[in-house]
Chains A and B, each alone.
Chain A
Amino acid sequence: MSARLALVAWVLASAAWAQDAGVEEVEVVDIDDVTTGYTPPEEQSHEALRFTGYVDVGFAKATGDGTSWVDSDTRVPLDYGADPFATAVNSRGEVASNDADGRFTNGFLPRSVGIGGNASFLINTASVDVRFQPRGLPIFVFARAQLMPRLLPTGDQTRLELQQAFGRLSPFASQELAFFLGKFDSVFGIEYLENEANFRVGVTPSLIARYTTGHGLGAKVFYRFQLPSVMSAISVNAALTNNGTRIEALVPPDASVMGVPVASARIGYELNLKDVQAKAGFSGLYGPRNDQRTTGARQMAFGADVRLNWGGLSLAGELLQLVDEQGTLQGKTTGQGPAELASGFNVFGLWGRVAYTLPWKTSVLTGVTLYGRYDRRQALFQGYTWVTTQRFTVGGRVDLFELVALKAEGVFNAEMAGAPNVDNDVFTASVVFTW
Chain B
Amino acid sequence: MRFQAIAVLVALSGCAEPEGLEAKVWTVEDFLRLAPEGQDLGGFRADQLVVLEGQPIPFRSRPYAASDVLQGPGYGLTPFPAFADGQPASFTVTEIWFAHPTPWIQPGYVMASRLTPEPTPLGGLNIFPVGVEATFYSPFWQLFYALAPDAGQDEFRSATAVLGAHLPLQRASLVYCPLAPADGGVAAPAGVDAGPTHPWLLVDDVGGDGGWPQAARPMPMATSWVDGTRVPYFRGGVDRIEGVDQLPVEHPLYTFAVAASDGGRALLPIPAVLPEEPFRSSFVRRTDVLVGASSAVFVPPDRPELIALLRGMGVKVACPQLDESTARLRLGAVIDQASCVRGRPTVSGCVDNEPDGGGDDGGVLDPIGGCEFLDSAAAVRGVNSSRIIPTETTLAIGVTQVGRELGP
Contact = CB atoms under 8 A, between A and B. Distances in A.
Interface residues of B, number: 31
Contacts of A329: 21-23, 99
B166 interface: yes
A70 B130 contact: no
B158 A385 contact: yes
B66 interface: no
Interface stretch (A15-23, A184-192, A391-399, A416-424): A416-424
Contacts of A327: 23
Interface stretch (A215-223, A273-281, A336-344, A368-376): A336-344
Contact of A330 (B101, B133, B160, B246): B101
Interface stretch (A35-43, A76-84, A152-160, A308-316): A76-84
Interface in B129-143: 129-138, 142
Interface string A311-330: 00000000000000011111
A85 interface: no
A10 interface: no
Contact of A81 (B21, B129, B142): B129
Interface residues of A, number: 32
A260 B157 CA distance: 44
A75 B107 contact: yes
A160 B106 CA distance: 38
Contacts of B164: 70, 415, 419-421
A74 B271 CA distance: 38
A340 to B, nearest CB: 5
Given A382-B133, A383-B131, A76 B105 contact: yes
B66 to A, nearest CB: 45
Contacts of B101: 330, 340-341
Interface in A405-425: 415, 417-421
Given A328-B22, A384-B130, A385-B158, A74 B135 contact: no
Contacts of A341: 23, 100-101, 135-136
Contacts of B132: 383
Given A328-B22, A341-B101, A383 B246 contact: no
A72 to B, nearest CB: 5
B104 interface: yes
A199 interface: no
Contacts of B23: 327-330, 341
B16 interface: no
B172 interface: no
A76 B166 contact: no
B302 interface: no
Interface in A49-100: 70, 72-77, 80-81
Counting chain A CB atoms within 10 Å of each CB, the highest count among B99, B136, B142, B246 belongs to B136
A414 to B, nearest CB: 12
A70 B169 CA distance: 12
A383 B166 CA distance: 24
Contacts of A326: 135
A73 B158 contact: no
A104 interface: yes
The SS class assigned to the A binding surface is: loop
A351 interface: no
A383 B136 CA distance: 9
Nearest to A69: B163
Contacts of B104: 76-77, 104
B94 to A, nearest CB: 17
Contact of A420 (B99, B133, B142, B160): B160
A418 B138 CA distance: 20
Nearest to B20: A329
Nearest to A385: B227
A104 B163 CA distance: 17
Contacts of B166: 70, 72, 420-421
Contacts of B160: 81, 385, 417-420
A381 interface: yes
Contacts of A76: 104-106, 136, 138, 246
A125 interface: no
B165 to A, nearest CB: 8
Contact of A383 (B21, B99, B107, B134): B134
A112 interface: no
Interface in B60-116: 99-101, 104-107
Contacts of B142: 74
Contacts of A382: 133-135
A81 B164 CA distance: 11
Contacts of A334: none
B182 to A, nearest CB: 19
B136 A77 contact: yes
Contacts of A328: 22-23
Contacts of B136: 76-77, 80, 106, 341, 343
Given A74-B246, A75-B129, A343 B227 contact: no
B216 interface: no
B135 A344 contact: yes
Interface string B142-170: 10100000000000001110011010010
B134 A384 contact: yes
A103 B142 CA distance: 14
A384 to B, nearest CB: 6
A70 B146 CA distance: 15
Contacts of B107: 74-75
B47 to A, nearest CB: 24
Interface string A4-28: 0000000000000000000000000
A254 to B, nearest CB: 25
Interface in A340-393: 340-341, 343-344, 381-385
Given A329-B22, A383-B131, A385-B158, A70 B100 contact: no
B21 A330 contact: yes
Nearest to A381: B135
B330 to A, nearest CB: 40
Nearest to B133: A383
Contacts of A106: 136
B105 to A, nearest CB: 7
A72 B163 contact: yes
Interface in A102-134: 103-104, 106
A76 B132 CA distance: 13
| 10 nearest CB pairs, A to B | A383-B134, A383-B133, A420-B164, A420-B163, A76-B104, A343-B135, A330-B23, A74-B107, A385-B227, A340-B101
13 contacts: A73-B163, A75-B159, A76-B105, A81-B160, A326-B135, A329-B21, A329-B99, A330-B21, A383-B131, A383-B132, A383-B135, A384-B130, A421-B164
Interface of A: 70, 72-77, 80-81, 103-104, 106, 326-330, 340-341, 343-344, 381-385, 415, 417-421
Given A76-B136, A382-B134, A420-B160, 12 more contacts: A74-B107, A74-B142, A75-B106, A75-B107, A103-B246, A330-B23, A340-B101, A341-B101, A383-B137, A384-B130, A385-B158, A419-B164
